[in-house]
Structures are given as structure tokens and as C-alpha cells.
Structure 1
Amino acid sequence: MDLSAPDQEIKQNTAESDLVDLFLTWKQENENCSTRTISKYRGLLKKFGGYIDNDFGAAELKILEQFSGGWLHRAGYSAASRKVAVAALRGFYSFLAKRHFIDKNPAVGLVYPKIGRKLPRFMGLKNAESLLLQPDLDSLSGLRDSAMLALLIGCGFRVAGLCGLNESQLIWYQYGEVERLAIRILEKGERERLVPVPLEAMLLVQAYLGHHDLKNIDRLLESGDQVLFVNMRNRHVPEWEHRGELRRLSCRTIDRMIKKYAISAGVPEDQAHAHAMRHLFGTELAESDSSTLQIQALMGHADPKTSGIYTHIAMRKMTHVLDKGNPLSKMDTPVTALLNEFKKGKLM
């Protein structure tokens, strides 16, 4: 197939080493890939370029398999990391083939490595409750922290999405006889979703926004919007420049905040992060008989298979089914009499 004039001109003026940048620019602008994904793809494709001396057009399927398999494995890459490499290579060569930089796509037959899917480690309800009770509600920073924790627990937000919130993303609507809050959040490649906010979190957000100290903070952006959750200090800028976008909290600050409250509350270290709260949110949706599609919509998963994981860890629901139907409960066992005594005393 002949190249169109624009494609021919681009091909003639693009060096082999520039193809990666061309692909990643297109991917970021057209598929809204996150900065983190673009960075990972760039690193892996640059490594592949070094592997084949940047002669991308000469690569064959066998070369792609050797790089994404044995070479990356020996370099210490896990199966999950090699899966990302395969995705990068498949996308890259599909891009080159569709724009006629190469005659044939060698990555069509490149398969993903098989990896197991880990069940997420979620925070327990008691631990989430203890964490939420740590902030001091008499201070602006304490109210801010409590509101953010409530949104992480009650809406399953990712930290980056929470940090990026502006006040215009708070949507007030009528639900029956009362006014309710929803949040239009942008996460992972600027994917947008509208999430209803639990009443408890709504009240904490309102209390934070109504705090008299917040009125003295300049959080106005050039767009006319306002940063929602603000930092109280920024050592990297003079006090008179500490306004607008520079008032926005960083993901690291929120991570440190969670860990600080987790230590005070006695929450285990492996649960002291925002994703453990997100997993709690997904698990409780599954416990409450939410469908996979409902979980997917509320959590913003691109793939419903990801949402389906939470049905596997809905322990209260499975325990109820087990206690109702397991064969041991329908026969005499060596501990049946003891178990009956425990039940009479409401110990079980």
C-alpha cells in the first residue's frame, strides 16, 4: 500500500531512535495513558532499542520473544513486569505497521507471560474505623485529613485522584427529599467517573469547607477553580507565593499522613496505605451483593475481571453460605455438643 504524502514525509524525517518518542506522544495524546504508564513504556522500549541497536524495522517475532522472555527474566524482571513489556512491544509495532513505518507487524504473535492474579490485601472494618477516628476535628488539618480518609474508605478513590480534586468537581444533587454530594473524579489516564459520596464523608467535606481557617487560604487557580484539599505549608516556596496550585497536596504527603495515623491506631503496616482502603471499599460492595458491573462503575476499573476479584474475598457472604449449607452442620461430630453450648452462650 502506498503511503499518503503526510505519512511519507513523516517517515522520511523520522530516525529509528525517534520512533519510540513518536509512538509515546501519540499514545499519551490519543489514549490518555497515565504519565506512569508512558514512563514504563519508554524505559522498556529504550532497553529493547539497545537490545537490537535501534534497528526496529529488522526485528522478528523470535527477537521479540527472546527480549521479552529470557533477556528480561535474566535482567531481574518479574512476569508481571514482562507482561508490561509485551504490551509495550505489541502497541509499538502495531503503531508502526498502521503508519507504514514497517511492512509487517512482527508482534502479532507475541504472547503475554502467564502470571497468577493476587488477591488484594484489604483493610478490615475495625482498622478503618480506628484510622478514621485519629484526626483532630478541632483543627483545619484534622478536618481535612478526616474528610480525605472518609473519601478513600467510602468511595474507593485512588490517591492521585484525591490529590487532583478541585472544588468544581463536587456535584450537589437532589436525592429524594435531601441534597446529596457526588464527586466527578479523574484517575488513571484521565478516565472520568461520577461517584456518589456517603453521607458520613459528605458531612466531613462540608465541615472542612466551612472551617473559618480555610477562608484565609488562597487556593484559587488560573482557571477560576479552587484546589479542594490544601497543604498547610510548603517549604519549597516563599510564604507569599504559597497559593493556587502550590497549595495542592502531593501523593507522598497523603501516604505519610495515612502511615502516621495507622501507627497511632495500631493498624498493621501492610494495611497502612490508600489501596488497602480502596480494596475494603470493593470488598464491602461485593459483600452487599453489588454486581460486578456496579463494582466496576463505582471503582473505575477498565476491565470487569478486576472487579470480579472482590467477589472472591467477600468473606462474610461466603461464611453465611458455608454455615447454612456445609455438611458438618447436618451431622453429629466430636465437637457438636461443645458447639451447641457455645451457641447457647452466644459465644459463636
Structure 2
Amino acid sequence: MDELIDQWLDFMRHNRGRSERTIQVYRLALTRLEEFLVEINRDWLAATHDDLLVFTGLWLHRKGLKDPLSRRPMVSAVREFYRWAAVRGLLANSPAAAVPYPRAGRKLPRVMTLASAEKLMWAPEFGSFNGVRDGAILAVLIGCGLRVSGLARLNESSIQREVIDNQPRLVLQVTEKGNKQRRLPVPEQAALLLGIYLEHPELKAIDRLLPDGDQVLFVSIRNRTVGEHEYRGENRRLRRGAVLAMIKKYGKQQGIPEEQLHPHALRHLYGTELREDEIDLVTRQRLMGHADPKTTEIYDHLAMRKVTRDVDRANPLAKIRTPASDLLRQLKANP
């Protein structure tokens, strides 16, 4: 059965273009499904629709996946696996075809505030190579709205130089979910910090060379995985977990609330600020790399500065005299 699972994962990786992160989630899902089928003494190809309903619902819930959103990737893996098995002729029909995705309300994402982002940008020690690297990473995350997976995959060739409005500018070619690519203009502040990082003598001393002649962009500093003689090229690439640990370290030093200390909170800040400045939906969708504009529209609910100014100006209380009107006027006059 392991060989069959590997064949399916290879199919999803190469034919469907699924990312390595998604492949890992799919493998975990089928490992859990195997555990369930052993419990009920059922062969993989003999599983019924009812079996899979129990697995994706009650069984996973009892195993700790109580949030419906956490079970959706499991349902996706089961449906895709059995559909593939049916297409290959291993089954007459897929028993998972009608297994429903769990319903869940859509939560608003947690966003890092501008004040927290400013504190974070000042946290690294720019007198050290580590600090220069971390400052460049934070600037790219905050200024370009990258997913951390996209940041970790950047190579030096991902940085492209163009002339825009008669000025030299940097553009990032980013590869993220489903190996989809997009190009993003780099803010001038981030471009400056990237340039300082790329010219740092300690970076120049690191072997970042890849087999295709490119070079890893953001490097790791501590080696805990390979022999010293292999600590070069792809093995020097900074991993997702290291970025998360870096944000948490600096955030705690700066007293930033725990719920904001995640790379995606920086991405949500980027999306929210685009909305605050009334960037049109199509442009925001392209910059964020969203396949569905409905995903981009969630930032309409997070952008509060402009809507607050609009409400202060247009709400009925602003147009009548109330017991609070004179006091409010005095408070604004003498802050």
C-alpha cells in the first residue's frame, strides 16, 4: 500500500503541481486514514462511503481535529486519493466522491498592526550579519506581503532589476502555492535592506551555489541537519520554521502581542494596508496571489482607518447636536 500512496503523491506533485507542504499534509492524512482502517479491520480498497464519513468526521474529531477547518485538508486528500484510484481502474467508483467538506464559519485573520510592524523592523541588531539578514527578511515580508513559503524559496535570480518611471527598481518573481508565480514591486526601503544584505562580506563567504548556477537568497546560520561538509547550496536555505522563530523572538523582545507573531499576520497587514489606500480589487488580488477574489475581499472587513473616518463624517450623530457634542469638541481642541 505504501507504494500505491507514493505513486499517488508523485502524481499530485508532478501532474497537479501540488507544493511540498501540501504533499506533506496529504501524506499525514493517509497515514491517519491507514490507522483508522486498521482499527476497523478494513482494506484500503474495500473502504465504503460510510467508513470515510466516520473517518473524516467523528474519528478525526476524537483525535483532536475539532476545528472543521483543520479537517478540510484531510477530506481533500481522501477524495483525491480515491478519485485517482478509480481513474486507474483499481476501483469501480470512488467511495469518497460524495464525502462532504466540513462547514465552518469564516474567521477574520489576525493582523499585525502598523505600530507592531515598526517595532519589529527596529528589533534586529543591524551591526551583525544575522541582524542585516533578519531586517531584509522582515522588510520583504511586510513590504511585499509574501507567504513564508514563497520567501523561503527565493533565489538570487528571483530579484529582477527594472527601470520604472525612469528610476531603477527591484521586482521579485515569487513562486508560492501550487507553484504559481507572480511578480511584485519591491518597496524602496526593502530594496535598500536587500542590497545591504547581498553586499555583506559574510554572505559573500557562504557557498550558496545551486546546481543550476543560481544562489539561495536567504541563508541559515546554524547547521543542525547535515554534516559540515554538506552545509552549502540548498542545505543553506533558511527554512519556514526559522522565519517563524525569528519573528517570535523579536516580537517578544518588543512586547508585541502573541497573536500577531506569525508570518501570515505580516501578510495580512500588507493586504489590509492595500485596502486602506483604496487599491482596486483586481490589483490587490494580483499582488496577494489569490486565486479567488473573495479571498481578497476579506480585507474589506479589516481595513478600519478609512471606514472610521467615513463613519465619523457621515453617521447621523455627526449631523445633530447631542449631549456629547460640546464635550467632544472641547476634548479635540485640548488633547
Label 1:40 to 1:157 Cα distance change in 2 as closer, same or farther (>3 A).
same
Work out whether 1:72 is the aligned partner of 2:57.
no
- Greater gyration radius: 1
**Counterpart in 1 of 2:255?**
266
Give 1:237 deviation, angstroms.
5.5
Provide, for residues 98-136 of structure 1, a one-character-per-residue CA deviation record: whole Å limited to 9, x for no partner.
Answer: 222222233333221111111111111011011101223
Between 279-288 and 21-30, report the one with greater CA deviation.
21-30
Q: Of 12, 15, 18, which aligns to 1:30?
A: 15
Q: Hey, what's the Cα distance between the residues in 1 that align with 2:250 and 2:147?
A: 18
Q: Which amino acid letter does the alignment assign opposite residue 181 of structure 1?
A: L
Q: Hey, what's the Cα distance between the residues in 2 that align with 1:98 and 1:237?
A: 41
Q: Hey, what's the Cα distance between the residues in 1 that align with 2:155 and 2:181?
A: 14
Per the alignment, in what secondary structure is the counterpart of residue 132 of structure 2?
helix
TM-score where L is the length of structure 2: 0.90
Work out whether 1:285 is the aligned partner of 2:274.
yes
Give 1:215 deviation, angstroms.
2.6
Q: Of 197, 210, 214, which aligns to 2:186?
A: 197
Between 231-240 and 191-200, report the one with greater CA deviation.
231-240
Unaligned runs of 5+ in 1: 1-15
Per the alignment, in what secondary structure is the counterpart of residue 178 of structure 2?
coil
Q: Hey, what's the Cα distance between the residues in 2 that align with 1:299 and 1:244?
A: 29
Q: Hey, what's the Cα distance between the residues in 1 that align with 2:134 and 2:74?
A: 38
Q: Hey, what's the Cα distance between the residues in 2 that align with 1:54 and 1:36?
A: 29
Q: Hey, what's the Cα distance between the residues in 1 that align with 2:245 and 2:259?
A: 14
Q: Which amino acid letter does the alignment assign opposite residue 200 of structure 1?
A: Q
Q: Of 61, 66, 71, which aligns to 2:49?
A: 61
Per the alignment, in what secondary structure is the counterpart of residue 193 of structure 1?
strand
**Counterpart in 1 of 2:87?**
98
Q: Hey, what's the Cα distance between the residues in 1 that align with 2:125 and 2:58?
A: 53
Q: Hey, what's the Cα distance between the residues in 2 that align with 1:19 and 1:243?
A: 34
Provide, for residues 150-178 of structure 1, a one-character-per-residue CA deviation record: whole Å limited to 9, x for no partner.
Answer: 00100111223222221111111110111
Label 1:57 to 1:314 Cα distance change in 2 as closer, same or farther (>3 A).
same
Work out whether 1:218 is the aligned partner of 2:207.
yes
Between 84-93 and 198-207, report the one with greater CA deviation.
84-93
**Counterpart in 1 of 2:331?**
342
TM-score where L is the length of structure 1: 0.87
User: 8 Å contact 1:17–1:54 — kept in the other structure?
Assistant: no
Give 1:33 deviation, angstroms.
1.6
Per the alignment, in what secondary structure is the counterpart of residue 107 of structure 1?
coil
Provide, for residues 321-347 of structure 1, a one-character-per-residue CA deviation record: whole Å limited to 9, x for no partner.
Answer: 2112212212222211111212333x3
Matches within 5 A, 1:134-213: 134-213=123-202
Per the alignment, in what secondary structure is the counterpart of residue 189 of structure 1?
helix
User: 8 Å contact 1:27–1:33 — kept in the other structure?
Assistant: yes
Label 1:86 to 1:308 Cα distance change in 2 as closer, same or farther (>3 A).
same
Give 1:18 deviation, angstroms.
4.6
Per the alignment, in what secondary structure is the counterpart of residue 59 of structure 2?
helix
Give 1:232 deviation, angstroms.
3.7
Give 1:313 deviation, angstroms.
0.5
Provide, for residues 49-92 of structure 1, a one-character-per-residue CA deviation record: whole Å limited to 9, x for no partner.
Answer: 44264534444333322222222223332212222222122212
Label 1:241 to 1:44 Cα distance change in 2 as closer, same or farther (>3 A).
closer
Between 118-127 and 238-247, report the one with greater CA deviation.
238-247
Q: Hey, what's the Cα distance between the residues in 2 that align with 1:269 and 1:58?
A: 46
Q: Hey, what's the Cα distance between the residues in 1 that align with 2:220 and 2:131?
A: 12
Q: Hey, what's the Cα distance between the residues in 2 that align with 1:23 and 1:244?
A: 30
Between 24-33 and 104-113, report the one with greater CA deviation.
104-113
Q: Hey, what's the Cα distance between the residues in 2 that align with 1:248 and 1:83?
A: 30
**Counterpart in 1 of 2:24?**
39
Q: Hey, what's the Cα distance between the residues in 1 that align with 2:5 and 2:231?
A: 38
Label 1:92 to 1:175 Cα distance change in 2 as closer, same or farther (>3 A).
same
Give 1:235 deviation, angstroms.
5.5
Between 200-209 and 22-31, report the one with greater CA deviation.
22-31
Give 1:230 deviation, angstroms.
2.3
Q: Hey, what's the Cα distance between the residues in 1 that align with 2:3 and 2:220?
A: 40
**Counterpart in 2 of 1:307?**
296
Percent identity of the aligned residues?
Answer: 47
Q: Which amino acid letter does the alignment assign opposite residue 42 of structure 1?
A: R
Give 1:312 deviation, angstroms.
0.8
Per the alignment, in what secondary structure is the counterpart of residue 252 of structure 2?
helix
Q: Hey, what's the Cα distance between the residues in 1 that align with 2:232 and 2:10?
A: 31
Give 1:233 deviation, angstroms.
4.3
Q: Which amino acid letter does the alignment assign opposite residue 214 of structure 1?
A: L
Q: Which amino acid letter does the alignment assign opposite residue 53 of structure 2?
A: E
Per the alignment, in what secondary structure is the counterpart of residue 31 of structure 1?
coil
How many residues align structurally? 331
Per the alignment, in what secondary structure is the counterpart of residue 146 of structure 2?
coil
Q: Which amino acid letter does the alignment assign opposite residue 283 of structure 2?
A: Q
